[in-house]
């Protein structure tokens, strides 16, 4: 080591720390957009530079950060459970199925109420006392010692 090189180590450490706090300008490939308005991005894997797995993320629409869960198809793509992003047809089909389930549930509930059914009673909540057992009540607790 040349004389004086070791004195610059702290300068290098400080410069790297300050650079780590600066926002990075990563440009990902725009993959798609869902019906909520989230935009999905990916930086593909490139083993030649040491990136084994792709980086995937999404940006929610302005002012609506994390308002509702993202669609299951996109979530599985983000978590790398599937390789290819979902197609528009697949998303539309699953959205139609979800809407149909909501309509069917409302129809079943309406039919149940018109047939004389009533709403279920709400479960009791709040503080409750401990249960009482007959074998633990009555008598003197010191009786077993008086024999």
- Residue-wise pLDDT for 6-57, tens only, equals 668 888 888 888 888 887 766 888 999 888 888 999 988 888 877 788 889 8
SS3 state at 111:
helix
What is the value of pTM for the model shown? 0.55
Average pLDDT, the chain: 80
As a residue count, the chain comes to: 147
On the question of pLDDT at 89 being above 70, the answer is yes
Domain ranges of the chain: 24-114
Tokens of 71: 């669609």
CB of 83 within 8 A of CB of 74?
no
Tokens of 103: 């309509």
The model's confidence at residue 147, banded by pLDDT at 50, 70 and 90, is very low
- CA dist list (Å): 109 to 39, 98, 101, 119: 36, 17, 12, 10
């Amino acid at each position: 080591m040349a004389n004086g090189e070791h004195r610059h180590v702290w300068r290098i450490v400080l410069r790297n720390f300050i650079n780590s706090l600066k926002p990075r300008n990563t440009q990902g490939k725009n993959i798609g957009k869902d019906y909520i308005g989230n935009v999905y991005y990916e930086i593909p894997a490139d083993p030649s530079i040491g990136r084994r797995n792709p980086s995937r993320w999404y940006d929610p629409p302005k002012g609506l950060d994390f308002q509702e869960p993202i669609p299951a198809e996109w979530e599985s793509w983000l978590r790398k459970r599937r390789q290819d992003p979902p197609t528009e047809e697949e998303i539309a089909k699953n959205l139609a199925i979800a809407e149909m389930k909501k309509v069917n549930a409302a129809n079943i509930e309406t039919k149940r109420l018109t047939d004389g059914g009533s709403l279920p009673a709400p479960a009791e909540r709040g503080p409750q006392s401990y249960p009482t057992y007959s074998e633990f009540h009555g008598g003197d607790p010191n009786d077993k010692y008086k024999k």
